[in-house]
Structure 1
Amino acid sequence: MDTIREVLEAAGGVLRRRDLLAAGFTGYQLTRAVRSGHVRRARRGWYTTFAADDLASEAVRVGGRLTGAALLARYGAWIWDAYGLTVAVPPHAARLRPRRGFHVVWTDTIGPAALDDPGIVAGSLWAVPLGEALVQAARESSREQAVAFLDWALAAGLASIADLRRWFAAAPADLRGIVEWADPGSQSVIETIPRVRFVESGRHVQTQVPVGTRGHAIDLVVDDVAVEPDGRRFHEQSFEADRLKDLLVIADGRPVLRPSYDMIRRRWELVEAAVHEASLMQHRPERRAETGLQSGSGSPEGPRPSGGARPSRGARASGGAARRSQDIPRPRRRRGARRWRLEARAW
């Protein structure tokens, strides 16, 4: 017969007393397991294998399930902003034990997690489903951080665009548009954050633009300037490949900028100014006369992708707390080329 700890671990780390009794254990055995330190009692009638300072254990102690950015961060989501700890509880919940630093949200859609991803155990009593966590995270985050969460879910293979649209269909109206900002081609948070910021500032942005003939792609093309965010964590093992891509991009008639993680985090104004100046230089008449290239065509590797845009509207948030308004537009995007721009609207 499995031990109490083994049964708890198989169930995701948390079970109620009645579940363990139904599995054949006695009250005396539960007491002995707690006293021996093999398991913990998170709150009356709830047992866990998580440590006392684990957020999953804390959520159960409060009386609900972990949700929002705190849950997503636990499983490797792309984190840019500081986040709070949020616990979801059903409307009929009683005897809650909230503590400082935890935010409690009341929801009637709470249910056990149901993911095939090994990080989130199906039937978990301490975590909400992924879709619910993403909606809550978008609600409590800035726009750029919310988009980073969605891009992470797509990149990790945990969701598709169709999944995101289904999950956010029941979200508040001013949150639904955030799905239109998600990009399956984003490969890291330092690609997502600049993309969102450039689109917010009204610049024309393309993502994963092919260059060369061997499958290389430019992370971001901003007003015909190649922007390759270069975080050591993401690019240290691909130095030679990145330098080769730089040569291909320059041969294609575009300047290349490689802002680091620290530049994007702490010196964004300088990054934006550099892109602006590079764009101006790229489009000066004398520049075109010298190169003999037209913007967006005539490269040694063939024509660049072209395309139109699809209008939409959505929510915008910047800084720390989320700010949303029906007057703030969604990005406009075309299928295939992944081109982004905002509708012409006053901020």
Structure 2
Amino acid sequence: MTLCEFGHVATSGALVAAGMSRRSVARLAADATVWRPRRGTLACAHLSGDARLAVQLGARLDCLSVLREKKVWTGHDARLHLRLPRGGRLVRPDLLPEGTHIHWSDASAGHDRLRVSMSTALRRAMTCFDDPDDVVAALESARHLKTISSATFHKLIDSAPIRLGPALALAQEGPQSGYETKARLRLQRAGFRVRAQVFIPGVGHVDNLINNVVDLETDGREFHESSFESDRRRDLAAEWIGIRTLRVPAAMVDTDWDYIEETIGRMVRDAS
């Protein structure tokens, strides 16, 4: 058994309890691929970033920190999120970054000593996000990235806090980015008919098809910078069949939403 197979971090006692001899544990501790953050604890030396810091602190990654590792939507929250049992304490409080959010919980976090499960992290995020739209965006993002199953997606929605009901009633499988989700939700609340990730013959999948006449594309630099020419060919094909395309930088969904919504309203009216 390797330390990676054990979840990247373990105590010597846990390894012995799992069937390793004390001699094998001692050999493992001396291996160059193993890091010893403190006495009695072994961790993979390749751990970095938030994961490495969590091990140093003696805590588990939770909530948005788990989502961030898998590139699931976390909005603008860049804080470290950790889990500690009630009454627990950090091993190295001097290393704690300012603004860290500690989630106190005695609920089982499973056998992974490094992080809680994705479903547990998403459930925690439901109480951590201020904006219900971010909850929907995180769930849809997690489903798109296949970090949760369809069954788990719907189970999380069904068990969500009551206050999130109106927003989660609009959640769906398919959207590919958080900004795409947030744009759709705002347009739906404004009275537009919006379909996400619609396949149009000759064009392909479009982000958000509005009233069947306008396609809103929320372009993130990491996904669209290398597809400039193909995107314009798609726009031309859509225009040919009567669908106008509005491309906006993804960040404008947060910074200039009123401008976007008013522009879409005019485009829809012009097409009617």
Does residue 89 in structure 1 map to residue 84 in structure 2? yes
Partner residue in 2 for 1:132: 120
2:251, 2:258 → 1: CA distance? 12
1:110, 1:211 → 2: CA distance? 46
Displacement after TM superposition at 1:180 (Å): 3.2
* Corresponding residue SS for 2:215: strand
CA deviations over 1:163-199 (Å, ceiling 9, x no partner): 1232354443324565433332212334223213323
Task: Count the aligned residue pairs.
Answer: 264
2:222, 2:46 → 1: CA distance? 29
1:181, 1:17 → 2: CA distance? 48
Q: Could you tell me which amino acid in structure 1 is paired with residue 112 of structure 2?
A: S
256-265 or 176-185: which moved more?
A: 176-185
- The answer (yes or no) to whether the contact 2:126–2:160 under 8 Å persists in 1 is no
Distance 1:32 1:238, change over 3 A: closer
More helix by share: 2
Partner residue in 2 for 1:274: 263
Partner residue in 2 for 1:156: 145
- Within 5 Å, which residues of 2 pair with 1:93-108? 94-97=88-91, 99=96, 100-108=98-106
Partner residue in 2 for 1:15: 10
CA deviations over 1:198-231 (Å, ceiling 9, x no partner): 234443322223323x472332123442212233
- Within 5 Å, which residues of 2 pair with 1:2-81? 7-22=2-17, 23-26=20-23, 29=26, 33=30, 38-50=33-45, 54-81=49-76
* Corresponding residue SS for 1:279: helix
- TM-score with structure 1 setting the length: 0.65
- The answer (yes or no) to whether the contact 1:226–1:257 under 8 Å persists in 2 is yes
Displacement after TM superposition at 1:132 (Å): 0.6
- The answer (yes or no) to whether the contact 1:88–1:107 under 8 Å persists in 2 is yes
Distance 1:152 1:262, change over 3 A: closer
Unaligned runs of 5+ in 1: 113-122, 284-347
- The answer (yes or no) to whether the contact 1:89–1:110 under 8 Å persists in 2 is no
Which structure would you say has the larger RCO, counting Cα contacts within 8 Å and 6 or more residues apart? 1
**Percent of aligned positions with the same letter in both sequences?**
28
- The answer (yes or no) to whether the contact 1:228–1:258 under 8 Å persists in 2 is yes
Q: Which of these two proteins has the greater Rg computed from alpha carbons?
A: 1
1:222, 1:24 → 2: CA distance? 63
- The answer (yes or no) to whether the contact 1:87–1:104 under 8 Å persists in 2 is yes
Distance 1:200 1:82, change over 3 A: farther
Partner residue in 1 for 2:186: 197
Unaligned runs of 5+ in 2: none
2:172, 2:56 → 1: CA distance? 37
Distance 1:162 1:29, change over 3 A: closer
Distance 1:233 1:56, change over 3 A: closer
2:9, 2:187 → 1: CA distance? 44
CA deviations over 1:35-82 (Å, ceiling 9, x no partner): x87533335533212578632233344443211111111122234312
* Corresponding residue SS for 2:248: coil
- The answer (yes or no) to whether the contact 1:211–1:248 under 8 Å persists in 2 is no
Q: Give the counterpart of 1:231 among 207, 214, 220.
A: 220
1:179, 1:19 → 2: CA distance? 40
Displacement after TM superposition at 1:256 (Å): 1.9
1:71, 1:235 → 2: CA distance? 26
Displacement after TM superposition at 1:15 (Å): 0.2
- The answer (yes or no) to whether the contact 2:132–2:164 under 8 Å persists in 1 is no
Q: Could you tell me which amino acid in structure 1 is paired with residue 237 of structure 2?
A: L
* Corresponding residue SS for 1:163: helix
1:43, 1:68 → 2: CA distance? 25
